[in-house]
C-alpha cells in the first residue's frame, strides 16, 4: 500500500506541448532530475549545438561519408576478429 500522506493524484486537463514536468509536494529536486533526463533523451543540447552555426551541404555529406567508412572499418575488424 502506498503512503497516503505524500500521495497526490495527477490533475486531469489539457496538456501543453513540449517538455514539461509537474512538481508535486514541492519536490523540485525530483522534478529537476526528471526534466534533465527528458532533455537528454530528446537530444536538445546536441541539436542546439549542431544548429549554432551554418554548415555547407558538402561538409555534411563529407562527414556522413567518413562516418560510414569508419563504421565499415570497425565492422570488418569485428568480423576478422571472430574468425
Instruction: Please provide the DSSP assignment of 10-78 as one string.
Output: PPPSPPPSS------TT-HHHHHHHHHHHHHHTTHHHHHHHTTS---HHHHHHHHHHHHHHHHHHHHHH
Global model pTM greater than 0.85: no
Phi, psi (5° rounding) for residue 45?
-65, -35
Separation of alpha carbons 58 and 56, rounded Å: 5
Going residue by residue through the chain, which has 83 residues, state the pLDDT in tens, using 9 for 90 and above.
556 666 666 666 666 677 889 899 999 999 999 999 999 999 888 888 888 999 999 999 999 999 999 999 999 998 888 87
Separation of alpha carbons 68 and 57, rounded Å: 17
Amino acid at each position: 500500500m502506498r503512503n497516503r500522506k505524500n500521495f497526490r493524484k495527477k490533475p486531469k486537463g489539457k496538456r501543453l506541448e513540449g517538455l514539461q514536468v509537474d512538481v508535486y509536494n514541492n519536490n523540485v529536486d525530483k522534478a529537476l532530475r526528471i526534466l534533465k533526463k527528458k532533455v537528454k533523451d530528446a537530444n536538445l543540447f546536441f541539436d542546439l549545438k549542431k544548429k549554432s552555426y551554418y554548415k555547407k551541404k558538402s561538409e555534411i555529406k563529407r562527414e556522413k561519408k567518413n562516418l560510414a567508412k569508419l563504421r565499415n572499418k570497425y565492422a570488418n575488424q569485428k568480423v576478422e576478429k571472430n574468425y
